[in-house]
Amino acid sequence: MQRRDFLHSLAAVGALSCLPSARALAASPVASAISVEQLPALEGELTLYLGRGEGGLYENVLEAIKKRNPKLNLQIRRGVTAALANTIVAEAKAGVRRADVFWAVDSGAVGLVAEAGLARSLPADLIGQLKPGFRYPQWAPVTGRIRTLPFNTERLTAEQIPDSIMVLPDSNLSVGWAPAYAAFQSFVTAMRLQEGDKATGDWLRAMNKQAKNYAGELGVVMGVERGEVDVGLANHYYTLRLKSGKPDAKVDLAFTKNDAGCLVNAGGVVALSDGDLSINFIRYLLTREVQSYLASEAFEIPLVNGVKPPQGLVPLDTISPPKVDLTQLADLRPTLKLMRSVGVL
């Protein structure tokens, strides 16, 4: 969906006075994504803390929501997701509440806020729109992303890629990674939870001998495509975005099985203030229009029922991600300590 079409379809108002109230919506559970046309208008003051990311596409969503809801006074504070999560917790300890909603690009940051007891419980009908496995009582995953091994198709085939992340250091493949990147650190946290600190530390040490550092995971994928390295460690959408603009790009995706190498993580949103407004704002992010836009333009995975996944991605039911409670990825301190101790950071 092109940006102009998306803004037009979401911002078209049309008989808002005839839309159901939030109370009526809560009393009528739904099992799939609903249209923005079924939502009540947003009115009043709302402060959103927004984690930076996705090249401005989240900003397009917010612009469309504001255009559709002219009586919504939306104030946005932008920043690094982890820093905003720490700010929310610090403000609460000081007896201050400035944020009504927190939209994070990483589930660990949402988990940090939820663990601090600052998140509101979400209505059952809202949770029911989400896919099984992504239903949480106090936060809503907005879109998902899979950890993948992008590989250079002129050098390798998918069959030559190890299906276990733990044996990658023994493969003699050159690897690109971005250890300073938040998604990578969440991946290492998942590995720690699954394999333990010792095995994870050993893996990091071994990988560090054969890995090439990049500033971000788009750089990893571009390095793979240029042939600088054989394979990379990156979220799926960087490869799909590169291939959308360069269909003949020499890169494709491989997946490990049942380990942190194919972790399905999510960006998410949490309501922090009382009242209908913060909850109804979250409803907009889960609508068919917003979910379809993020799938088609950001190549992220819709986590509500009834919305098509991004083009070029294998169906979720054909991969084998590990079973990880995403909120357990919140505490990065042991991960950062381990990465520093082995010389990766």
Model confidence pLDDT, tens digit, residues 324-335:
888 888 788 899
CA distance 63 to 170: 48
Q: Answer whether residue 17 shows pLDDT above 70.
A: no
Q: Work out the angle at residue 248's Cα, subtended by the Cα atoms of residues 245 and 250, and round it to the nearest 5 degrees.
A: 110
Query: What was the pLDDT predicted at 19?
Result: 33
Which domains does the chain carry?
3-144+265-316 (3.40.190.10), 145-263+318-341 (3.40.190.10)
Model confidence pLDDT, tens digit, residues 183-216:
899 999 999 999 999 999 999 999 999 899 998 8
Query: What was the pLDDT predicted at 317?
Result: 81
Average pLDDT, the chain: 88
Across residues 136-162, what is the average pLDDT? 94
Model confidence pLDDT, tens digit, residues 274-289:
999 999 999 999 999 9
Per the structure block, which two tokens stand in for 271?
A: 């309501």
Query: What was the pLDDT predicted at 54?
Result: 56
Q: What element of type H or E holds 241?
A: helix 236-245
Q: DSSP for 136-202, please give it.
A: -SS-EEEEEEEEEEEEETTT--GGGS-S-GGGGGGS---EEE-TTSHHHHHHHHHHHHHH-HHHHHH
Query: What was the pLDDT predicted at 30?
Result: 46
Q: Where are the alpha helices (DSSP H) in the chain?
A: 3-11, 22-26, 57-68, 81-93, 107-115, 124-128, 182-195, 197-208, 217-226, 236-245, 276-285, 288-297, 333-341
